[in-house]
């Protein structure tokens, strides 16, 4: 396979692939010669039929193929990107249970996942700065797991330890710093556990407060490295993960899901996005096509403010918060500007309508 050819992906053709013809036409003056179709994921022994099918919502045929295997495949539902409400209680009780699930990560692609809370990514943990978290990890999986909160300051030798199936672990920690943080499994081999889906975002609002946003979203970017299917189900290919060449890259665990079901806002509204990059390996160059971020905050901390930003760099294991207002109705794609990864599923659309 000619990987160089497949990596050439102009913004014009990218927008065409997303079905945004008007946006593609607007970019025609700066487009270079490029293939007229979306670059495929790496053409390995990975089920080529599944890759070809990865352009639409799982069809009845895809579902039938998956459910013909002796496994229970979780039906696909769009991951709700809306920022959860935060209670005023200064003590938060938080329980997360790990479990093994078979779920869709792309159209027609059923994946054997290790999860927190039954989803990939796990649930958004929403806190206020200064909150005390009374945490319990329950292991409902079939192997040892742990959890590492980047938002916490606690001895990992004591609290980030692995627990066996059916065991639980309790510890308390305090959210001393505001921002957008990662949590993930720290059980060796860490790359393997993360590539299987064991990660999520913690959002800590600052004591000083934030301007009320009209729309507020949480996006977790991550990569999937998969095997050929067995009984209709793919798993993590650790050799691929070590090579750093993913088959799929997604926002909130499913390739292109917000292209098919866009996020929404209205003209002039304040839109706030928290972006957490779970990796495990690639950087995210987060960009909303057609606008400029009025403000961007490294690690999601309001003390780290930048203004007038076109693209933000979110490295693996870190987060970012961006704010912007859009003055004109239209379809505004959001991507990682690392377009090899965008072509593998790290694409969504923000649909903006008139008030």
Please report the DSSP string for 309-335 in residue order.
ES-EEE-TTEEEEEEE---S-EEEEEE
Q: Are residues 4 and 99 in the same domain?
A: no
Lowest mean pLDDT among 47-61, 129-143, 302-316, 341-355: 47-61
* 99, 197: one domain: yes
The confidence band for 65, taking pLDDT boundaries of 50, 70 and 90, is very low
Q: Does 299 fall in a domain?
A: no
Q: What average pLDDT does this structure show over 27-52?
A: 32
The domain tally of the chain equals: 2
Domain boundary among 189, 205, 221: 205
Task: Report which secondary-structure segment, H or E, holds 128.
Answer: strand 125-128
Q: Is residue 20 part of a domain?
A: yes
Same domain, 82 and 25: no
Does the residue 167 lie in any domain? Answer: yes
CATH number of the domain residue 179 falls in: 2.60.40.420
Contact 106, 248 (CB under 8 A): yes
Does pLDDT of 77 surpass 80?
Answer: yes
On whether both 190 and 120 belong to a single domain, the answer is yes
Residues 125 and 28 in one domain: no
Q: Which pLDDT band, with edges at 50, 70 and 90, does 248 fall under?
A: very high
Residue 304, in any domain of the structure: no
% of the chain residues with pLDDT over 70? 80
- For residue 167, what are the domain limits? 74-205
End position of a domain, from candidates 205, 230, 250:
205
Count the Cβ atoms, other than its own, within 10 Å of residue 235: 17
Output the pLDDT for position 53: 28
Measure the CA dihedral 336/340/344/347, to 10°. Answer: 20
Taking alpha carbons only, the member of 259, 241, 247, 129 closest to residue 194 is 241
Mean pLDDT (whole number) for 203-229:
98
Q: Which of 205, 224, 244 is the last residue of a domain?
A: 205
Q: pLDDT tens across 160-196, in order?
A: 999 999 999 999 999 999 999 999 999 999 999 999 9
- Do 136 and 26 share a structural domain? no
Classify residue 164: in a domain, yes or no: yes
Q: Is the predicted pLDDT of residue 46 greater than 50, yes or no? A: no
Which pLDDT value is given to residue 200?
98
Q: Which one, of 266, 261, 178, lies nearest residue 214 by Cα?
A: 266
Q: What is the pTM of this model?
A: 0.82
Q: Which two tokens stand for residue 310?
A: 């076109």
Tokens of 50: 């599944």
Measured at the CA of 210, the angle between CA 206 and CA 216, to 5 degrees, comes to: 105
- Burial (CB < 10 A; 0-12, 13-18, 19+), residue 320, is buried
Q: Whole-number mean pLDDT of the chain?
A: 85
**pLDDT at residue 59 is higher than 70:** no
Q: Give phi and psi for 253, each to the nearest 5.
A: 85, 5
Residue 224 above 70 pLDDT? yes
Beta bridge partners of 171: 135
Q: Which residues contact 151 (CB under 8 A, 6 or more apart)?
A: 125, 127, 173, 175, 177, 179, 181, 183, 202, 204
pLDDT score recorded for residue 23: 41
CB 160 within 8 A of CB 148: yes
pLDDT at 214 over 50: yes
Report the pLDDT value the prediction gives residue 329, as an integer from 0 to 100.
98
> Is residue 315, in this structure, part of any structural domain at all?
no
Do 15 and 125 reside in the same domain of the chain?
no
Q: Are residues 97 and 178 in the same domain?
A: yes
Please classify residue 29 by burial: count the beta carbons closer than 10 Å to its beta carbon, then call 0-12 exposed, 13-18 middle and 19+ buried: exposed
What pLDDT is attached to residue 318?
98
Determine if residue 291 is left, alpha or beta; phi over 0 gives left, psi from -120 to 50 gives alpha, anything else beta. beta
How remote is the C-alpha of 103 from its chain's centroid?
A: 15
Confidence at residue 99, expressed as pLDDT on a 0 to 100 scale: 98
One domain for residues 168 and 103: yes
Average pLDDT (280-292) is 98
User: Do residues 121 and 171 share a domain?
Assistant: yes
**Are 105 and 2 members of one domain?**
no
Residues 35 and 86 in one domain: no
pLDDT at residue number 190 = 98
- 339 — pLDDT class (breaks 50, 70, 90): very high
Domain assignment present for 48: no
Query: For 240-269, what is the mean pLDDT?
Result: 98
């Amino acid at each position: 396979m000619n990987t160089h050819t497949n990596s050439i992906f102009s913004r014009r053709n990218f927008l065409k692939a997303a079905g945004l013809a008007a946006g593609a036409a607007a970019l025609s003056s700066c487009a270079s010669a490029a293939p007229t179709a979306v670059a495929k994921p790496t053409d390995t022994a990975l089920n080529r039929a599944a890759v070809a099918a990865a352009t639409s919502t799982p069809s009845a045929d895809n579902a039938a193929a998956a459910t013909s295997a002796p496994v229970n495949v979780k039906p696909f539902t769009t991951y709700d990107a809306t920022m959860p409400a935060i209670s005023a209680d200064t003590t938060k009780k938080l329980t997360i249970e790990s479990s093994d699930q078979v779920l869709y990560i792309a159209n027609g692609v059923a994946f054997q996942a290790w999860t927190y809370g039954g989803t990939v990514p796990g649930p958004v943990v929403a806190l206020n700065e200064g909150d005390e978290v009374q945490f319990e990890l329950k292991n409902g999986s079939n192997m040892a797991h742990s959890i590492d909160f980047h938002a916490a300051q606690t001895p990992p030798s004591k609290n980030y330890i692995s627990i066996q199936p059916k065991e639980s672990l309790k510890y308390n920690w305090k959210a001393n710093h505001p921002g957008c943080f990662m949590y993930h499994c720290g059980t060796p081999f860490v790359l393997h556990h993360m590539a299987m889906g064991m990660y999520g975002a913690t959002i800590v609002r600052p004591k000083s407060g934030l301007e009320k946003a009209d729309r507020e979203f949480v996006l977790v970017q991550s990569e999937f490295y998969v095997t050929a299917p067995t009984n209709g189900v793919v798993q993590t290919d650790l050799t691929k993960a070590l090579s750093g060449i993913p088959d799929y890259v997604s926002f909130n665990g499913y390739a292109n899901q917000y292209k098919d079901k866009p996020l929404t806002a209205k003209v002039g509204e304040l839109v706030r996005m928290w972006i957490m990059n779970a990796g495990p390996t690639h950087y995210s160059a987060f960009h909303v096509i057609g606008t400029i971020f009025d403000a961007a905050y490294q690690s999601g901390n309001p003390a780290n403010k930048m203004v007038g930003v076109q693209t933000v760099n979110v490295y693996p294991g870190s987060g970012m918060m961006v704010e912007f207002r859009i003055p004109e109705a239209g379809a505004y794609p959001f991507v990682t500007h690392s377009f090899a990864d965008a072509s593998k599923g790290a694409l969504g659309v923000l649909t903006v309508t008139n008030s």
